[in-house]
Amino acid sequence: MSTDSFIYTTAVLYVISALHYLLFLVLRKDKLATVGLYGARIGFLTNLIAVILLAGTGGGVSLFTEKGAFLLFGISTVSIFLYFSTKHKFSISGTFLMPWAAISLIVASLASGIPKNIFPVGVVGVTHIVSAFLGYSAFVFAAITSLIYLIFERHLKKKKFSVFYHKLTSLSLLESIVYHSLTVGFMFITISMFAGAIWSEKIFGSYWSWHPKEIATLVTWFTYAGIIHLYLYNNWKGKKLCYMSMFGFLLIVLNFLGINFFSDKDIHSFKG
């Protein structure tokens, strides 16, 4: 089977998973969430094969294309979702996460996989881009969990016994998941920054060049470092943590879309 065949298969599996999680939100039947979970798990495997096949063409530089970017975003989103949903039995998060993964794979199936520039990638380059996407996905997960926290908290105040009341255990658990996902994202972004600096030195002869992407990533890193610090030492918990997490997510969107997709004169651009 070709790379595109695995991409199409993954897109179908993620769409099936997303639909079942949406039905789970409405009908509150656990079997629907179970089908959604298996769709995500099998889709993860086909997504992984598609990434490996794409990386096998052109020495890994194909990952630095629109197709590669959306494939990586899809698999990293599902990786983070499977980790937290399994660890905390947080099935309802699939309602909000799997549509993102499905859209990513649909876009990947339509996007170009032809690289704009040919440059050496190697293990360091792959580590740089994979850890960046895992970090972004963890921050997305934190923002979505923050949104669920705020909705759940509002429903509790109004004594509205919605699906959130029946399927979630407590606000403190949601807060713990938000904080945990922020630390996971921060760890991967840190790894990506160091790997990127080493990779830059190999390609351009410099660890740091005040490149717009480097500056944007540094601002993002300091923002999340600040959020974690405020949580640990200034008691910014509960709703404050959730609002800060969602603010950080906006920076991620600006960083990711603004430079990686809207700029076409940048080595970080995924435009083919």
In which residue ranges of the chain is pLDDT below 70? 58-59, 117-118, 161-168, 258-272
Residue 113 and residue 123 in one domain: no
Structural domain boundaries, residue 153: 119-271
Res 271: pLDDT: 58
Res 74: pLDDT: 95
Last residue of a domain, one of 89, 117, 145: 117
Residue 11 and residue 99 in one domain: yes
Residue 113 and residue 3 in one domain: yes
Q: What's the per-residue H, E or C state across 119-136? A: CCCHHHHHHHHHHHHHHH
Alpha carbon distance 234, 114 (integer Å)? 48
Last residue of a domain, one of 81, 96, 117: 117
Residue 111 and residue 134 in one domain: no
Residue 110 and residue 144 in one domain: no
Residue type, position 45, single letter: L
Res 212: pLDDT: 79
pTM: 0.87
Distances (CA, A) of 189 to 2, 19, 73, 90, 138: 32, 31, 14, 24, 10
pLDDT, tens digit (0-9, with 9 covering 90-100), for 134-154: 999 999 999 999 999 998 888
* Tokens of residue 238, six digits: 């509960």
Res 38: pLDDT: 95
Alpha carbon distance 146, 18 (integer Å)? 20
Residue 141 and residue 66 in one domain: no
Distances (CA, A) of 155 to 51, 61, 94, 146: 41, 48, 20, 14
Res 7: pLDDT: 96
Res 161: pLDDT: 67
